[in-house]
Structure 1
């Protein structure tokens, strides 16, 4: 059945890929304009719809740019927000007004004061950041690989190890936003969510397949997820008496637990929690960017028993901060924990990526 469906959808994929190819050629030949800016732009994107790990990679890049003495900013489309037009994120905002990823960035980098803006038209977002924060030395674009009206200084393409772009098809037969040849625009390709024990021979085999579609000299790096200590969601809601858990929560049994997510690829987190000794009893799995409703928590509560931990992601936590969601469920809220996720690179990948970044102001 799956093969038959693929066969039926392929003509529509070819049509969509053709339209995107014409659009890309118009940019390549200068018939459609791509604007360059004095401030360097580092773009993090993918060919596939959702789930490649853009958010933790943007976080890694911003943290590294801060270490190098940059004054970075982040620009995102703000997917799912209830506002329109260019907007600078501020304390009055929420996931509803700027989108879940921008709100997560704003909360993560509030200390170093990294400006976070959202704009459907990225060039307007760049101009807004330049106007309001003229001291910004580099802007990291979150998910603008197909947004070719701006010209990045460094184009970072992500592809998931379990679902590499070279094994996928263009929408609707597959999940690609454009053909595999779009990899030619990448200055570096990062294969994400790799097994930690992925050896050099396996890495080289993947790199060879990527270079069939990208430039032959493009660096191919490999990253893995590293999960942090659980953090009480109540702490993020600033509820009195909540705590940060150091290491596996000693107050919790490594017994039954639930998972609540609204992200594209939650399976790695489920597998991680199982590897830590939790007995995962139920997963309330909702679509990416899902706006949580009281009914979702009611459905989760039907599978929950008092004392069982409920785990979720940092991204989902931005949409779980509405107090009305937890009305009548204070014990569930106090037993809900976020699991931070960061990326690390295999081999010399981190140093290779550092060398590609715009030089710091003191360089």
Structure 2
């Protein structure tokens, strides 16, 4: 039994209480005892039912680029998890320049700001406030990052993501399991998205999609896959410079990651035919203190590494840090079938 399973076993007696509380909260919103704020532009929520990562950020990236390429002016609204700023509205990026660093805004918000030029990124705990500010700044579509449980802001498209290799975990509600709410909450969704679908797990994705269809026949399921694009390097100016995978083919490289499922990133690296000589799995949203960086460098030195490789989410936390080894990130992008694009654009137009 790992530590996660151990804590879930301790929390299992309290799971029905938390489940009931979340169900009652949703009911109060449905009956309009708790008010839902509707803004003047379409809102697309990207969220999940489970704890941990399901690939929300790459899907937000995909949607932002899709909308931008089709003439819309999207903005991303996030809570800013892990950021120290407590202002009601934080403009992480106005679309042209980064205004807050990862410490203030949170690593995911800065990652989106770095990789989505021309698209404003705003954060705030009460998300209707940054949402309204984004509209003032010219946005005509809003992307609500990790918004499924944030029912205070109305949405027109409600995407719920499941990571194919994890699905619904043990199907129990926190603190006895992986679910943030009871399964009945999925009735609020407009579309389910299975993420990180690949050849080895496609049958698993099909089976879970069939299960969802049996329980929620009116809600369709889409599949999303990841494609590696290239490497990016954090240069001396703290900007992301493109590089090629072949640049690291013969270089002893130490990998590390502080995301929800670092083992998945480790497996991805193994498939790239890179010379990975060591790997460290770190906690999600890890803070790279001087001590932690020194530990990473010590481990890399012990195995003879000549370069470091991580995720783009981790990479943005290394701005203004001086390292003795070159630091790269593997850029991955989400891909959907064209029918998904057509669905999103049609709903937005409507």
TM-score, length-scaled by structure 2:
0.89
Gaps of 5+ in 2: none
Structure 2: how far apart are the matches of 1:360 and 1:352?
A: 12
| 1:127 is aligned to 2:132 | yes
Aligned to 1:271: 267
After superposition, the C-alpha distances for 1:288-331 in whole angstroms (9 at most, x for unaligned) are 111111111211122224652211111111111133xx3xx4x3
The answer to whether the Cα contact below 8 Å between 1:89 and 1:106 also exists between their aligned partners in 2 is: yes
Structure 2: how far apart are the matches of 1:151 and 1:116?
A: 19
Q: How does 1:243-282 map to 2 (within 5 A)?
A: 244-249=242-247, 252-254=248-250, 256-282=252-278
Q: How does 1:192-207 map to 2 (within 5 A)?
A: 192-196=195-199, 199=202, 203-207=205-209
Paired positions, count? 341
Aligned to 2:174: 171
Aligned to 2:217: 216
Shift of 1:356: 3.1
Structure 2: how far apart are the matches of 1:259 and 1:140?
A: 31
Cα RMSD after superposing both structures = 2.4
| 1:302 is aligned to 2:307 | no
Structure 2: how far apart are the matches of 1:255 and 1:265?
A: 25
The answer to whether the Cα contact below 8 Å between 1:16 and 1:170 also exists between their aligned partners in 2 is: yes
Aligned to 2:327: 336
Against the structure 1 CA distance between its residues 350 and 10, is the aligned structure 2 distance closer, same or farther, given a 3 Å change threshold? farther
Structure 2: how far apart are the matches of 1:5 and 1:290?
A: 20
Structure 1: how far apart are the matches of 2:100 and 2:346?
A: 30
Shift of 1:279: 4.3
Shift of 1:243: 5.8
Shift of 1:355: 1.5
SS of residue matched to 2:256:
strand
Choose which of 97, 100, 104 in structure 1 pairs with 2:107: 100
SS of residue matched to 1:244:
strand
Structure 1: how far apart are the matches of 2:267 and 2:111?
A: 23
SS of residue matched to 2:142:
strand
Structure 1: how far apart are the matches of 2:179 and 2:296?
A: 32
Shift of 1:207: 1.2
Structure 1: how far apart are the matches of 2:34 and 2:294?
A: 50
Aligned to 1:69: 71
Choose which of 271, 290, 293 in structure 1 pairs with 2:289: 293
Shift of 1:341: 1.3
